[in-house]
Amino acid sequence: MKVLELLDYLQQTIDMSPKNLVGKVSINKKEVLRTLNEMRKLLPDEFEEAKNLMNRKEIILDEARSEAERIIQDSRKRAQQEYENCDVLVAAKKEAEEILESANEEAKKIKGEANKQAKDLKFGVMNYADSTLSNLQKDIDIIGEESLKVIQNEMEEMLVKLYKEISSTTSKVRENIKELGND
């Protein structure tokens, strides 16, 4: 390689140059500068590009960090919006409220009828009303628990999916930052 030959030539020039009384070497400045310029011309453009890239490294890393933070913030906002606007959650909550309201209205109606009959039939009717209310409360409890389980399962599935998306995005950003750091 021509660059190595020129380096050897400079080394020889320095080694062969005369020394003065204090041990300093006298060299031909024009010859050394000419040799250095010749070496620069022989170096590939990649050295200059690498030098420029090293100068831009911190700027690139700062931009990557800012972009990663922006992506994380956007993901958090999107997750919050999806959670708040989840149609399934809203519909399930509305349905649960309607079921509870309907069940409460039904319970009030049955209780009113039971109280009226209780006046007429006293103890026998009171046992019947108690039994009916107990069964109705069990039905309400069962319906409420089932509705809550459905809502909970759907929310867990949505949150797991969202967590995976955020983790995937964060991993990609970290990999990109590492790649930029390695360059």
Question: Residue 39: what pLDDT?
Answer: 81
Residues 183, 172: Cα–Cα separation, whole Å = 17
CA dihedral sign, ordered 49, 52, 57, 59 = negative
At 82 the pLDDT is 76
Residue at 24 is within a domain: no
CB 103 within 8 A of CB 146: no
pLDDT above 70 (res 181): yes
pTM of the model: 0.28
As for how many domains the chain has, the answer is: 1
34 lies in some domain: no
Distance CA 36, CA 97 (A): 85
Q: Is residue 26 part of a domain?
A: no
pLDDT of 46 reads 64
Q: Per the domain annotation, does 165 fall within a domain?
A: yes
> Whole-angstrom Cα distance, residue 123 to residue 129?
10
> Which whole-number Å values give the CA distances from 107 to 62, 88, 125, 133, 140, in the listed order?
64, 28, 16, 7, 10
Cα distance between residue 162 and residue 74, in whole Å: 12
Q: State pLDDT tens for residues 42-59.
A: 777 667 777 777 778 778
Q: What is the pLDDT of residue 160?
A: 92
Gap between the Cα atoms of 41 and 58, Å rounded? 28
Q: When comparing pLDDT for 111 and 48, which is higher?
A: 111
Q: What is the pLDDT of residue 153?
A: 92
Tell me, what's the pLDDT at 157?
A: 92
